[in-house]
Amino acid sequence: MNRACGTAVVAALLLAQAAGAAVIPTIGGDLGAQSKYVWRGAVFNPSPVLWPDVWATWNGITLTGWTSFNLADNTLYNDPAFKFTDVDVFLEYAHTFGRVTGTLGYAQYMYPGYLSAFPSTGEVYLKGKADLKVLQAGVAANLDVIHVKGLYVSPSLSRSLTLGPVTGTLAVSLGWGTEKHNEYYYGADKAALTDLTGGLNIAWTPPGCCGKFMTVTANGGYAQLLGVYTEGTKSNVWGGLTLNFFYTPGSR
């Protein structure tokens, strides 16, 4: 971990210390299956993948370990089925100020797959989201501090609606990247708009005691590459299903 990464971690811990009295930590994990792997509009794997993760959150700090696992051959990068291709670790701190929530974090990306096309790297990120009653408006800025040295900015709008045990969330975001970011992820050596991405998540909370420990989420997404489009498929559609598990010690 370099100096910039360490600074982000220390900043998150100091902010958490100032957040107030400690609360009981919550631990959890997710197991998701997706029809393809699309990130920032770009296809990492056109075949089905499994996305398991584990996380813990305490006093505003969340630590997450996430990975992508091939369920079929990745014909785009000749990665075989049943192989881990991504291993990512996230550390972040979130705090709410009235109707605005701010998040400071660090993400470490490791890519054991993809024919070593993507060296390991890491980003410091800052997110803000405002509750506008009818909509939620957000913006995220991700600055790579290790290998890429590029910046990715993404404003977004979302709308959630809850009907009994079901919550639906519709979201859309627009991405923009600097020259170094776009060359690394898209092979386009120019600063430009990168992607227009939309998605619908439908989360169901089971009745009874199961609803205190898990939810089931179905999702669908669409992404359109913009100014960084060079060759291959310009738009992508995918879908998936995720089991979300969580537990707070002492809860009933």
> Which DSSP string do the residues of 195-250 spell out, in sequence order?
EEEEEEEEEEPPSGGGGGTEEEEEEEEEEEE-TT--SS-SEEEEEEEEEEEEE-TT
Question: From residue 144, how far is each of 14, 108, 119, 180 by CA, in Å?
Answer: 22, 10, 12, 10
CA gap 168, 180 in Å, rounded: 36
- Model confidence at 228, pLDDT cuts 50, 70, 90, reads confident
For residue 224, is it within any domain? yes
Q: In this predicted model, what pLDDT tens digit does every residue of 117-137 receive, in sequence order?
A: 889 999 999 999 999 989 999
The amino acid at residue 187 is G
Comparing CA positions, the residue from 223, 188, 209 lying closest to residue 252 is 209
Report the predicted TM-score, pTM, of the whole model to 2 decimal places. 0.88
Q: φ and ψ at 184, to 5 degrees?
A: -70, -45
69: Cα within 13 Å, side-chain hemisphere: 11
CB-neighbour burial class of residue 132 (10 A; exposed 0-12, middle 13-18, buried 19+): exposed
For residue 116, is it within any domain? yes
Q: For residue 216, what is the domain's CATH number?
A: 2.40.230.20
Given the structure tokens 């400071």, which residue do they identify? 104
For residue 252, is it within any domain? no
Q: In this predicted model, what pLDDT tens digit does every residue of 20-39 receive, in sequence order?
A: 445 789 999 999 999 999 99
Q: Determine the pLDDT at residue 208.
A: 87
Percent pLDDT > 70 in the chain is: 88
Give yes or no for a contact between 223 and 197, defined as CB atoms under 8 angstroms apart. Answer: yes
* Residue with more model confidence, 184 or 16: 184
* Number of structural domains in the chain: 1
For residue 145, is it within any domain? yes
Q: Which domain holds residue 13?
A: 3-17+26-247
Report the pLDDT averaged over residues 59-79: 95
CA gap 143, 181 in Å, rounded: 9
